[in-house]
Amino acid sequence: MANSLFEEKLYSGEFLVTTEIGPPKGADTSEMVHHIDLLKDKVDAINVTDHQSSVMRFPSIGGCLLVKEHGGEPILQVTCRDRNRLAIQAELLLAYSRGIGNVLCLTGDSVDVGDHKEAKPVFDLDSVQLLKMARTMESGTDMEGNELKGAPKFCLGASVHPEADFIEPQLLKFEKKVAAGAQFFQTQGIFDLASLRRFMQYASQFDVKILAGIIVMASARMARYMNDNVPGIIVSQSIIDELATAEKGKGLQKGIEIAARLIKTIKEENLCHGVHIMAVGNESIVPDILEAAQLVGVRP
Amino acid sequence: MIVAEQKPLEEIRRMIVPYERVLIIGCGTCMTVCGTGGEREVSFLHNALRVAQAKSGNGTHTFSEYTLKRQCDPEFLDLLVDKVGDVDAILSLGCGIGVQAIAERLLDLSVLPGVNTSFMGMASEWGIWDERCAACGDCRLEETAGICPITRCTKGILNGPCAGTKNGKCEANKDMDCAWVLIYKRLERLEQLEKMRRYRPPRNFRTIPRPKRIMSRADIAVGGDNG
Amino acid sequence: MLRAYEMGAEGVFIAGCGEQCAREDTAFWVGQRVEKVRKTLVQIGLQSERLQAFLLGAPNEDPARELDRFAEEIGGLYLASVMVQEVKR
């Protein structure tokens, strides 16, 4: 009996498609709701990010509740940057009680890259400890062994970085996450399919599902900016060059083309179990990517 | 060693405004080594304060100087007691411990901090100090080939690295090495990578008792050899 | 060095040993101390140019000319500060 709709799909053998929505910096959720309505029937699940890049925003749990309200399947993102183990356990209970069963467990970007640089970084836990803690709660107790009145059940995910320039420590960490209970992984941006293939050769020995992260770049400048400033993103020179060939004003088109091409190849060659589309600040173009990649109409 | 930096002159001048006779007290241990608050620095600061006072035309402070071997030791604090008869405030160039030790001893005087105590560290090169220890009270350097993840990893995580490492540097500060890349390489060199594969449970952040206390009377009394 | 300013000096010119110095690394140490005092001068509200160091013994260098130049510069700084005072009044 699966813990969520997404978990069912995870084990169905279908090619999975997820995407993410960035909440607003403020209490006005109208645009976010618009994106939810636009995407909820086109993808298997929608992640709502948690102060992405350490920029203060409307919380992931709030966004997930809205996704649920509007009939979509949410994935809650929990980072360890802002809250201690008490607060996180509490949020997991809240999520489960409101039918949000999918949780992506992350350590979280450093406070220093965001817009509240003097804030106190918490990091009471890291992503591996968070995964283990969630699994402990499923067994009926909190992490101190105290009995829970109503144990939650989750479908747990984590992130991995197949294109890291020094891959061995990342693989070591990946194994720890699998051992701690991760069922699915959404990777950091994939730009080079060769590294994805190499990674999958290694990762396929584990019983986990891998969704390749696809980031849509709108221009060569954006790619370079993200390379320098956003943690976990390494855009290959060939992609930057290809983006640079776009005519003025057609940068986004090029970005969509590149993303669609990557997705099609991944699907046709069965490189991994699905894709996770990240259109940073540009959620409305996701349907265009799906169409270009010929992934429309496959969602029930 | 404890490493600190002197506060900006402006800030010190602002702190001493209400006090006419100020005794500047230095410390002969850590603060001398890092060139922040030893006897020479006390003297230099004294001169700087006088020049500043003369140039600005306001302020009628008079200063005196004294340096203790260590401010954090009751044995040396005793020496202060009869030196503060005609003093209105003390400006301590000792670390935060020294300032508090003096304040606890001389209850009727204001004790002002002249330095910002920053960290416990070592001299990587002459005159360059780097933070190395956070005094977490639960040393796990055995697990990480002698490299501290609490001090050297920006996030202080125990199951590293995170995804933000690029070119062996930290996402938050490109001049800073990623501690977990360093740990991985050192463990690999020592053929102990197994230690990094092991799951590390969450840290104990318990704050009681606060402030922490260690009793070492018996240890000090025993001294060397067979006790 | 600071004492000189306290006694009323507008500028301090240091002549130190250059390459022929009997002791090692004079240039380095003089440089370090000058840097420290300059930082302090700025904190006091004086210009860092009010302290200059000159190392004797280098070819083509004329200490007298450097001193003249320094005196002129300090004179300028002095006049500027006097004008500022006038304006304030």
Contact between chains at B201 and A175 (C-beta distance less than 8 A): no
**Strands annotated E in chain A:** 16-21, 45-48, 74-79, 102-106, 155-160, 184-189, 209-215, 274-278
Whether residue A36 is contained in a domain is answered as yes
Banded pLDDT at B119 (limits 50, 70, 90): very high
Neighbours of chain B (3+ CB pairs under 8 A): A, C
**A140 falls within a domain:** yes
On whether residue A134 sits in a domain, the answer given is yes
Model's pTM, two decimal places? 0.89
Contact B77/B65 with Cβ under 8 angstroms?
Answer: no
Q: What are the residues whose beta carbons fall under 8 Å from the beta carbon of B138, sequence distance 6 or more?
A: B203, B204
Tell me: pLDDT of B225 over 70: no
Chain-centroid distance of CA A294 in Å reads 21
**Comparison of pLDDT for C31 and A120, the residue scoring more:** A120
Is A300 part of any domain? no
Is the model more confident about C59 or about A7? A7
> Chain B: which residues have CB within 8 Å of chain C?
8-10, 44, 47-48, 50-52, 54-56
Local structure of B207: helix, strand or coil: coil
Mean pLDDT within A160-177 = 95
Per-residue confidence at B201, pLDDT binned at 50, 70, 90? very high
Distance, in Å, from the CA atom of B157 to the CA atom of A15, rounded to the nearest integer, reads 34
How long, in residues, is chain C? Answer: 89
C-alpha A178/C-alpha A157 separation (Å) is 9
Handedness of CA A240, A243, A248, A253 (dihedral sign): negative
pLDDT, residue A297, reads 60
Residues facing A18 on adjacent strands: A45, A276
Q: Of all helices (H) and strands (E), which one includes residue C69?
A: helix C63-88
More reliable by pLDDT, A249 or C23: A249
pLDDT at C20: 66
Sheet holding B110-113, edge to edge: B62-68, B21-27, B89-92, B110-113
| Integer-rounded Cα radius of gyration of chain B | 22
Is the peptide bond preceding residue B161 cis, with omega within 30 degrees of 0?
yes
- Is pLDDT above 90 for A64? yes
Per-residue pLDDT averaged across B106-134, rounded? 95
Least confident of A155-159, B38-42, B63-67, C4-8: C4-8
Of the partner residues C3, C36, C46, the one whose CB lies closest to the CB of residue B55: C46
Q: pLDDT at position C67, please?
A: 82
Q: Does residue C1 contact residue C33 with C-beta atoms inside 8 Å?
A: yes
Residues near B14 by beta carbon (within 8 Å), at least 6 away in sequence: none
- Name which of B162, B168, B203 is nearest A166 (Cβ-Cβ): B168
pLDDT (tens digit, 9 = 90+) per residue, A197-209? 999 999 999 999 9
**Residue of A133, A63, A77, A137 whose CA lies nearest to A105:** A77
For residue range A251-261, list pLDDT tens digits in order: 888 889 999 99
Region of A151 (left: φ > 0; alpha: ψ -120 to 50; beta: rest) is: beta
What CATH code is carried by the domain that includes residue A172? 3.20.20.220
Checking if the pLDDT of B80 tops 70, the result is: yes
Contacts of B140 in chain A (CB under 8 A): none
- Taking an 8 Å cut-off on Cβ atoms, the answer to whether A176 and B199 are in contact is yes
Chain B interface disruption, residue of A172, A230, A278, most B CBs within 10 A: A172
Place of tokens 């004179």: C75
Q: Is the pLDDT of residue B59 over 90?
A: no
> Does residue A299 fall inside a structural domain?
no
Residue with tokens 């989750």: A154
Percent of chain B scored above 90 by pLDDT?
Answer: 77
Query: What are the C-alpha distances in Å from A14 to residues A274, A275, A300, B33?
Result: 8, 11, 12, 66
pLDDT at residue number A154: 97
Average the pLDDT over B73-94 and give the result. 93
Residue C22: pLDDT over 90: no
CB of A279 closer than 8 Å to CB of A271: no
Q: How confident is the model at residue A263 (pLDDT cuts 50, 70, 90)?
A: very high
Domains of chain B: 2-119 (3.40.50), 135-197 (no CATH)
Average pLDDT over all residues of chain C: 80
Among the listed ranges A69-73, B14-18, B82-86, C77-81, which one has the minimum average pLDDT value? C77-81
Q: Quick one: average pLDDT of B203-209?
A: 82
Interface test with A, best of B147, B166, B181, B189 (most A CBs within 10 A): B166
Per-residue DSSP letter, B94: S
A253 contact partners, CB below 8 Å, separation of at least 6: A246
Whole-number pLDDT of residue A23: 96
Q: What is the mean pLDDT of residues B176-197?
A: 96
Please check whether residue A241 lies inside any domain of the structure. Answer: yes
Helices (H) and strands (E) in chain B, counts: 9, 9
Residues A27-39 have pLDDT tens digits of 999 999 999 999 9
Angle at Cα B30 formed by Cα B28 and Cα B33, nearest 5°? Answer: 85
Report if residue A28 sits inside a domain. Answer: yes
At B168, give phi and psi (nearest 5°). 70, 10
Is pLDDT above 80 for C17? no
The pLDDT of residue A2: 82
Burial of A245 (0-12, 13-18, 19+ CB in 10 A): exposed
Residue A179 contacts residue A135 (beta carbons within 8 Å): no
Instruction: For chains B and C, count residue pairs whose Cβ atoms are closer than 8 Å.
Output: 31
CB contact under 8 A, C5 and B55: yes
Query: Residues of chain A with pLDDT > 70: what percent?
Result: 98
Strand partners, B119: B3
Number of domains chain A is built from: 1
Assess contact for A122 and A83: CB atoms under 8 A: yes
Share of chain A above pLDDT 90, in %: 81
User: Are the C-beta atoms of B166 and A234 separated by less than 8 Å?
Assistant: yes
Question: What is the per-residue pLDDT for C77?
Answer: 82
Tell me the chain C residues in contact with residue B44 when contact means C-beta distances shorter than 8 Å: 2, 36, 40
Q: How far apart are the C-alpha atoms of B10 and B56, rounded to whole Å?
A: 12
Q: Do B163 and A126 touch (CB under 8 A)?
A: no
